[in-house]
Amino acid sequence: MSVVRPVLVLTHAPHEGPGAIARALDGVPYGVRTVLDSPEPRLPALADVSGVVVMGGPMDADDVVGHPGLAAERGLLAAAVDADVPVLGVCLGHQLLALALGARLHRRTAHEVGFAPVHLLADDPVLRGLGDVGTAPTVLHWHSDEVDLPDGATLLASTDATQVQAFRAGSALGLQFHPELDVSMLDLWLATPDMVGDLDDDEVATIRADGAKVLPDLAPAAEAVFAAFATQVRARA
> How far apart are the C-alpha atoms of 116 and 37, rounded to whole Å?
33
Identify the active-site residue in 67, 91, 112, 146. Answer: 91
Query: DSSP 3-state helix, strand, coil percentages of the chain (rounded to 5)?
Result: 35, 20, 45
Phi, psi torsion values for 186, nearest 5 degrees: -65, -40
Residue type for position 93? G
> How far apart are the C-alpha atoms of 109 and 51, rounded to whole Å?
31
Q: C-alpha 69: how far from its chain's center?
A: 17
Residue type for position 30? Y
Angle between helices 92-100 and 69-82 (to 10 degrees): 70
Active site residue 40: no
DSSP H/E element including 231: helix 201-236
Could you tell me the strand order of the sheet in which 51-54 lies? 30-33, 7-10, 51-54, 87-90, 172-175, 166-169, 154-158, 119-120
Active site residue 91: yes
Identify the active-site residue in 12, 67, 141, 178. Answer: 178
Burial class (CB in 10 A: 0-12, 13-18, 19+), 41: middle
Alpha-carbon distance values, 60 to 111, 117, 162 (Å): 13, 24, 16
Active site residue 112: no
Q: Which are the catalytic amino acids? A: 91, 178, 180
